[in-house]
Homo-oligomer: A and B are copies of this chain.
Amino acid sequence: MASPDLRRIEVATAPPYTVFIGRGALSLLPEWLLENLPGRRLALVTDAAVDRLHGAAVRERLRSARIAVETVVVEPGEAHKTRRTKEQIEDVLIEAGISRDAAIVALGGGVVTDLGGFAAATYMRGIPWVAVPTTLLGMVDAAIGGKTGVNHPRGKNLIGALHQPAAVIADVDLLATLPEVEYRSGLAEVIKAGIIDDAVLFDLLAAEPARVLAREPALLEEVIARACEVKARVVAEDASEVDRRQILNFGHTVGHALEQVSGHAVRHGEAISIGMVAESRLAVGAGILDPAHAEAIEAAIAALGLPVRLTGPLPGLSVEALLEAARVDKKSRAGRIVCVFPRRIGTMARGERGHGIPLDEDLLREVVAGLGGPAGSP
């Protein structure tokens, strides 16, 4: 089988692994598994929507390479990224007699890779897993770095593990069928990658929003590879997430809180777009970021069709609700909320105790009032 011409990004975590990016990358999957999976047996974790689009083709590829496949189809959507769904995966694997020499292949968006990776992390104390993201968000963010987990009614990703995938296979062709709203949601993480660590990527997106939105394959490969490189650099510098990795949370303190308060009615990409704009303003207010850079960030986000503020009232949104959501989230330190801020596009600020900078609540109150949410909100 001739491998297509793929980009390879090495993620230097312990253990290290490769992200393969390109059109037709999926054809590499059976080859990679035969070389790296002694048991020739795997569980394919996917969701019902992805299974309809790609399930049969992937299974056919694997079976013609004589790899035994057990499929677990979970319900699609963030609402199903739960401990209960993880149990469902475990029960199927155990009933099927999957042993420690098998692996999990997670085929889907971030929900599926988070679930599949977490199930692999704790199945018989850990088996390998391969991420095959089918969304832009999954390719540039969810699948790289080993963060796996499930949500809790009180907050996102509260239960989980760091468990690096053995490989990530990002086939750009799979994005052709991705709904527009999901594609834009992924673009939010791509912009974030530019803001936190790659000014060239940011400029590329800001200069060519129409070509990006048209999904031009060559541009898309370049953009995905650059965003993956940012993520790979950051997680390799700090696999245990002690400090450097916090910069990936840009936009996420406010963003996660919006998702939480809205019961996930505000999607991840939209929430962190609004979150990045809000946190840029906090950075300006704290004297860390030049207002011109904050404006450039807002303009680039808007040009890619992503929201920069709430489009309608969000009942229940208040500074207190946001602080509470951030508190039960993992972004607090001895009770204080910490945030990460750019000091210019492409470079994040460092405070006395590293990248996490404690939040000024008065400033937050002002910025939340400006989110365009509930008129009567504090």
Q: Which residues of A contact B (CB under 8 A)?
A: 38-39, 83, 87, 90-91, 94-95, 97, 99-101, 118, 121-126, 147, 149, 152, 154-155, 157-162, 241, 327-328, 330, 332-335
Copy number in the complex reads 2
Q: A94-B155, A97-B328 are in contact. Are A122 and B161 (CB under 8 A)?
A: yes
**CB <8 Å contact, A94 and B152:** yes
The residue of chain B having its C-beta at the shortest distance from the C-beta of A99 within the complex is B332
**CB <8 Å contact, B101 and A334:** yes
Closest beta carbon of chain B to A292's beta carbon, Å: 35
Sample 6 A-B pairs with CB under 8 A, ordered by A number: A94-B158, A97-B328, A99-B327, A99-B333, A122-B159, A124-B158
Interface of A is mostly: mixed
- Which single member of B39, B87, B95, B155 contacts A83 (CB below 8 Å)? B87
- Which single member of B90, B160, B327 contacts A97 (CB below 8 Å)? B327
Closest beta carbon of chain B to A99's beta carbon, Å: 5
Give complex CA distance A121, B121 in Å. Answer: 10
**CB <8 Å contact, B90 and A159:** yes
- Which single member of B99, B154, B161 contacts A126 (CB below 8 Å)? B161
Closest beta carbon of chain B to A285's beta carbon, Å: 25
Give complex CA distance A81, B334 in Å. Answer: 31
Give complex CA distance A332, B158 in Å. Answer: 33
The residue of chain B having its C-beta at the shortest distance from the C-beta of A121 within the complex is B161
The residue of chain B having its C-beta at the shortest distance from the C-beta of A38 within the complex is B334
Q: A94-B152, A94-B328 are in contact. Are A162 and B125 (CB under 8 A)?
A: yes
The residue of chain B having its C-beta at the shortest distance from the C-beta of A150 within the complex is B122
Q: A83-B87, A152-B90 are in contact. Are A162 and B97 (CB under 8 A)?
A: no
Task: Point out the residues of chain B lying under 8 angstroms from A39, CB to CB.
Answer: 334
**CB <8 Å contact, B332 and A125:** no
Closest beta carbon of chain B to A342's beta carbon, Å: 24
Task: Point out the residues of chain B lying under 8 angstroms from A161, CB to CB.
Answer: 121-122, 125-126, 161
Closest beta carbon of chain B to A166's beta carbon, Å: 14
The residue of chain B having its C-beta at the shortest distance from the C-beta of A118 within the complex is B122
Task: Point out the residues of chain B lying under 8 angstroms from A94, CB to CB.
Answer: 152, 154-155, 158, 328
The residue of chain B having its C-beta at the shortest distance from the C-beta of A241 within the complex is B125
Residue picked from A91, A125, A161, A241, most chain B C-beta under 10 Å = A125
